Structure 1
Amino acid sequence: MSNIPQIRIPATYMRGGTSKGVFFKLNDLPESCQMPGEARDKLFMRVIGSPDPYAAHIDGMGGATSSTSKCVILSKSSVPEHDVDYLYGQVSIDKAFVDWSGNCGNLSTAAGAFAIHAGLVDPARIPQNGTAVVRIWQANIQKTIIAHVPVTNGQVQETGDFELDGVTFPAAEIVLEFLDPSDDSEDGGSMFPTGNLVDDLEVPGVGTFKATMITAGIPTVFVNAEDIGYTGTELREAINTDQKALARFEQIRVAGALRMGLIKTPEEALTRQHTPKIAFVSAPKEYKASSGKTIGTGDVDLLVRALSMGKLHHAMMGTCAVAIGTAAAVPGTLVNQAAGGGEREAVRFGHPSGTLRVGAQAKLVNGEWTVTKAIMSRSARILMEGWVRVPGDAF
């Protein structure tokens, strides 16, 4: 009978935006896990409680949803003019792998706050009272994120009256700036990797759909809700209880990934569940959010529903919100058309939990659309801190 004692690792459990994750300082990890590889992946899976055939995460820190199966590593930055390096791992719920292919925009909020909590930011950059500007190097996608974190009495201010749909209680507002968010590492420099604002995306065995495929924030495939039989007002239960619908969304996502050049074969999509995202858009309509709140037609510019790790997200992923804001700023995309067309620097969109406003500055340079910055507000707070324990042979 195995009797290997558990080890304990300093960790902090945080909410960031509409996500939760387990945060680590790089130097606190076991030595074998301080570098990318199998040991680190095994550790994170055991921390979260994956793979779990019961899809419940009873024996781990995960919450059995894509929003709550996340781990984060922070360290002092290796990049000049930055405070911290932020590395994000999306842990699969039912399969044995960790996806490192993208960022989590929601936990980017918590990364800024945790950087201060953990003493990773030069104290000279933290005001006694005011706003600390934390310069984050997002190591997964090699991009800069600026977090404007409120500080009171030299400490991160976590409580406040900022309300975020999808989060039950108000908290302090943290403003995020995603600089140059187009993921040029994936496509050689084009924000629209196919070269088109709208494509006819052929999905074998399903059909052909109009699609906007963009890499800003996170690679995302947008389709029109009505083209796939939806209104755009759907809540989680309408999608996540329909296995045929989920399978069809995955087929569309795989076709988009192939067309965007993110994968070379459909089989590769099995180990790249985090990206690209698949989302469907529609013009504003009245609907009742999951909280029971009525969202009126005049409350939003458009409606968006997005899937993460194979399920409809309960609100909206932060990185996907960047993609939405950027695509909305480019006249002619499906997102822009759903919002009424024309030039715009910000949109408020409806999602299953309510609404969210995101701004983006896009411009046409030498025939190529580029985005210089996307901005949104979120909140974050520590839920628990101390040590996480895992069996000593877990990694």
Structure 2
Amino acid sequence: MRIGVVGAGILGLAVARRLGEVRPDARVTVLDKEDRVAAHQTGHNSGVAHAGLYYAPGSLKATLCRRGVGLLKEYCAQRGLPYDECGKVVVARDAAELPALDAIERRAAANGVPGLRRLDAAALREIEPHAAGVAALHSPTTAIVDFPAIARAYADDVVKAGGELRLGFEVVRLRRSGERVLVASPDEQLGFDRLVVCAGLQSDRLARLAGDSPAPAIVPFRGEYYRLARPDLVNGLIYPVPDPRYPFLGVHFTRRVDGGVDVGPNAVLALAREGYRRRDVRPSDLLETLRWPGFRRLARRHWRTGLKELYGSASKRAFAAEARAFVPEVTAADLVPAPAGVRAQAVDPDGSLVDDFRIGRLGPIVTVRNAPSPAATSSLAIADHIVDELEL
């Protein structure tokens, strides 16, 4: 049996790794247009191994995150990769945010997140002496990791199990021929008995090539970060109470395994699917986004939030003001530009932002249509789920 996986990010590599375990007799091939693994979302990840605080109980995100984080912790221990349970506080800035914090606490408890503790302002300062807020929820098992290193380790596992990495292979055609799936680059065609499409920022395009529906479509959002010049101000992770009307968390503080602290991200529309810089513009990508009915409905619904995010992108002082709401000592001078990431946000035709993981099946093809955070945390559990879907 020949099995192909399109996408050499952390999820595609986790799937290929699992395939090697379940079907050691199969020939597993990972295809990616880039010349390295983890080139896009995985390589621009914030590095947080999530404990499962936010996700709707019973959802794929909740169940696969809780299982996945345990598998990830065990894997990192086995491979000698960093896994630092520095902990996270979700901070309510004022009394108006307390009901939303209560809701997060209930969800986290329903999901079985261990060690949760509600903090008052004084207890918050014991954990994060420089943070400000009227209350917080502490998740001591939330961890930080190096996801690109984990992806490289998965790739090593694939090769050691006899699998093949075909980097620089850009998929331009996909079609079924009887029980086979034919996958073509501009120069070559390969045939597979099963195919998994984990294409991240290109997932909707590849899914359409495979015969799947146009919806949901990917709308790329660039998340811009700053590096904190005074990392001593933050011990672990300091997060806001999220706005339930909007999927992005807003500016927060993330300690990295190298000792640095990132501040951000915001969320602004990227003008290219892989547009990591403001000057990265690809007219065909932008036109595709603007033509998607779901994006136009989304823009009408959230234009005020979009303007606020653009202002934070254009003004370092505004960005610093957002950060100061949680760590009052931060000034604009403390923020040093850091690399940005691009989130592949799936949007339905009615303008709804797809929240849960969305994984489909088309005969011998499995398509991953939406896999935002906590997909990296959940990668080993998602891989189990996808391989089960293949019915090998």
TM-score under structure 2 length normalisation? 0.25
TM-score under structure 1 length normalisation? 0.25
Higher relative contact order (CA 8 A, sep 6+): 2
Looking at secondary structure, tell me which structure has more strand per residue. Answer: 1
